[in-house]
Structure 1
Amino acid sequence: MQAACSHRIQAAFEQRQDTLLWAVTGAGKTEMLFPGIAWALEAGLRVAVASPRVDVCLELAPRLQAAFNAVDQAVLYGDMKGAYQYCQLTICTTHQLLRFYHAFDVLVVDEVDAFPFASDPGLKYASEQAKKPNGALLYLTATPSDWLQRAARKGELVMTYLPIRYHGHLLPEIKVVRTRDWRAKMHQGRLPDRLVRQMRENFTHRRRFLLFAPHVADLPALKRALELTFPGETVVTVHATDPERHAKVSRMRSRELNFLVTTTILERGVTFPEIDVFVLGAEDQVFSTAALVQIAGRAGRSASDPDGAVRFYANQLTEVIKTAQQQIKFVNRKARRIQHDSVRPM
């Protein structure tokens, strides 16, 4: 499946088509881009890969640099150091596309369901203006918005669908654990009993995890409650405006930390192998269906550990949570059919 999608992406670049790749989290989207990007660079074309989030750009840049080390590469984001210089390959945030007009022969926009791209029509306009009139535009997402699906139905975009991860395993499904007044308890230095039991089990089995909280304002009280409950553990929190954000993510990636407490800033774009995912307060309105699907998609991403646990601790089962569960079950049903067809006797 991944090879077939990769061929279709390259064909879309060659034919200068606008395309939507709807692929589940952990499908290996970046690697599927490589043959098409290689073709474009060898043809002397100018290529950009853009994402709404700085974290995603910083994750992509070294992978693209390693794959195309003979090509000059620029990485552009808001607080970058140094001046921009023309390069054949550009990795940038979607806001940086406002700098460009009819500049790129091939433009890839990753994570188009993410804030701020998903809620800002100006960024969609910027992406259309940044590519050359006869250029190719590829949108990548695991949770396509209504406008993308409408555009595909109208034939304005060619859609390629990939419902299975690169390692062939299904997405871990969401288990909801009901809580009662978790935030009030947290401010008293306590955590839901079932979350505490789950975390103890993870510590016992040396199983690392991400713990998501709804708001930055929740982090100090959550950190205190965790330190009181698990006095021997190092508790590190991270959020979008944290000046040590990148260093903390690196510590988690290098296995220096057993777990990381975070907001939605780590819902996408970063990969930690062999982790579980817990969400405290999953009923909060800050979590959209797309965000919850992306958060769940942090688990099970490595071939060595494709079945990570996903636990949502919530005061109530909201429609948003139920829709996220349904989306994951939907793509897993499609993946099972692919698996069944692939082993069907001739």
Structure 2
Amino acid sequence: MINHISELYGRQIKLSDLSEELQHHPDIHVRPALAKIAGRWVCTRCQAKLKPTLAGLPSGQFYCYECIQMGRMDTLQGLATVDEPNRFAAVKHPMSWRGHLTALQAACAQQIVEVFKDHRRHLLWAVTGAGKTEMLFPTIEWAIRHGLRIGIASPRVDVCIELFPRIQAAFDGVSSVLLHGKSEAPYQYCQITVCTTHQLLRFYHAFDVMVIDEVDVFPFSGNPMLHTAVSNAIKPSGGLLYLTATPDRSLLRAVKSGYLSVGYLPIRYHGHLLPEVTIIKLPKIAAQIKESRLPGQVMTMIGRLVAAKQRFLLFVPTIQDLQRVGAAISREKIRCRYETVFSADPKRLEKVAAMRSRSLDFLITTTILERGVTFPGIDVLVLKADDRIFSSAALVQIAGRVGRNSERPGGQVLLYCSTRSSSVKACDRQIKQMNQKARQLS
């Protein structure tokens, strides 16, 4: 139950979720949760145009089945909001970060500031490990100094969880909140909001500065509902920044049409090139894994890395492959500490934390760890890299887990596959092209 008016600033919440007293507050605006437009029911929260056969209820009412996971919207509901007042305490020195940007990072950072000053929409195409978060700091500082509200969203919970403490540390005197489906802390009105893109469905004309990180990734890419959530969450006078290392076709079309301006950063913050992939053809690897066996070449590499205390991520395409590969490694009796992890794993966050704290030698993982998580100094092995699960963008992101730390800017990216699929070749080509662009800048 919501009892304080500040919890509604720039938000859209079911009227029934408000206290009785708050429901009659003079500053609250109420819209129908579902509105009939051109003869069709449309959800006011997510803008979905609903099919009567799917949206109808036995009572004769209608509901939105598209955003049901965020709480039911139906024809008996009102959607309450309060205009965003930007009621934030002045902070004399908002940025506590004392690091330095490279010349290229600083140029991109200044470009981002100008984007928001001009209320534009912009894409920053930067390689994995380029230091995108740090390049946001000048913009965040500028926004705070001007009393603006900042939203930073990502489709992935893991990305938000990793990003939030970095933002907190860089702006430790500024109010901030982390929102995602597994959040236990209650919502509170803050100047900086870090959240999953799904959480934006609860905001309405809230943010002056909106950043969407990993914009090309599921479930955001190609999802009209989440794109609508972003549009609704930004103020009409606000600006929008997309961040990615692997823009999809829709983003490239938006750049070509002029809807998005674009900036590039083809080199990492430490100035070293991206580690390039090594493609290793093993024609029988898929059949062997199906039998819970691993090719000798793969097992030898695993043993070698464990013996050298070189930590790594071992990617497989499916959940079934997690158990099969784990069983194969267990039979070899290699003395090692590892876990398997996948998107619906209830202990996913704990396992990632164990890897980060060096309690594990490696993780066997699906594509859930292809991006947004950093483990310094690791190598990467991809089994069945030619499987259709591994798109070229996924492989580029997986390769991007390696060499992110200045103390070990290189490392191995080993792609084991039966054939050189189009995705494997495209990954190899894109990394080499980015490295060529980086050489031209140095």
The structure whose RCO (Cα within 8 Å, separation 6+) is larger is: 1
Task: Report the equivalent of 1:344.
Answer: none
Structure 2 CA distance for aligned equivalents of residues 296 and 277 of structure 1 = 7
Within 5 Å, which residues of 2 pair with 1:84-163?
84-163=187-266
2:155 to 40, 45, 52: 52
Task: Report the equivalent of 2:411.
Answer: 308
1:294 to 388, 397, 417: 397
Shift of 1:113: 0.9
Task: Report the equivalent of 1:319.
Answer: 422
Counterpart of 1:207, as a letter, is Q
Name structure 2 gaps, 5 residues minimum: 1-103
Structure 1 CA distance for aligned equivalents of residues 196 and 245 of structure 2 = 18
Question: Secondary structure of 2:274's match?
Answer: coil
Question: Secondary structure of 1:191's match?
Answer: coil
Question: Secondary structure of 1:22's match?
Answer: strand
Task: Report the equivalent of 1:33.
Answer: 136
Question: After the TM superposition, which of the residue ranges 61-70 and 8-17 deviates more from structure 2?
Answer: 8-17
Counterpart of 2:344, as a letter, is T
Within 5 Å, which residues of 2 pair with 1:9-88?
9-88=112-191
8 Å CA contact retained: 2:337, 2:359? no
Question: Secondary structure of 1:119's match?
Answer: coil
Question: After the TM superposition, which of the residue ranges 112-121 and 185-194 deviates more from structure 2?
Answer: 185-194
8 Å CA contact retained: 1:235, 1:260? yes
Structure 1 CA distance for aligned equivalents of residues 278 and 333 of structure 2 = 24
1:178 to 261, 278, 281: 281
Task: Report the equivalent of 2:59.
Answer: none
Shift of 1:73: 1.1
Distance 1:192 1:119, change over 3 A: farther
How well do the aligned residues superpose, as a CA RMSD in angstroms? 1.2
Give aligned pairs, total. 339
The answer to whether the aligner puts 1:278 opposite 2:384 as a matched pair is no
Shift of 1:199: 1.6
**Post-superposition CA distance 1:77-134 (Å, at most 9, x none):** 1122243222111000011111112110000000001111113122122212210111
Structure 1 CA distance for aligned equivalents of residues 320 and 147 of structure 2 = 49
Task: Report the equivalent of 1:6.
Answer: 109
Structure 2 CA distance for aligned equivalents of residues 264 and 119 of structure 1 = 18
8 Å CA contact retained: 1:238, 1:260? yes
Within 5 Å, which residues of 2 pair with 1:208-219?
208-219=311-322
Shift of 1:7: 1.1
**Post-superposition CA distance 1:199-248 (Å, at most 9, x none):** 22212322111000101121111111111124322231111111111111
**Post-superposition CA distance 1:35-69 (Å, at most 9, x none):** 10111012110000000000000000100111111
Structure with more of its chain in helix, by fraction = 1
TM-score under structure 1 length normalisation:
0.95
**Post-superposition CA distance 1:274-321 (Å, at most 9, x none):** 110000011111111111110000001111111111001111110011
Counterpart of 1:89, as a letter, is I
Shift of 1:187: 4.3
Name structure 1 gaps, 5 residues minimum: 340-346
Counterpart of 2:244, as a letter, is T
Percent identical pairs in the alignment equals: 53
Q: Which 4+ stretches in 1 moved above 6 angstroms? A: none
**Post-superposition CA distance 1:14-38 (Å, at most 9, x none):** 2211110000000000000011011
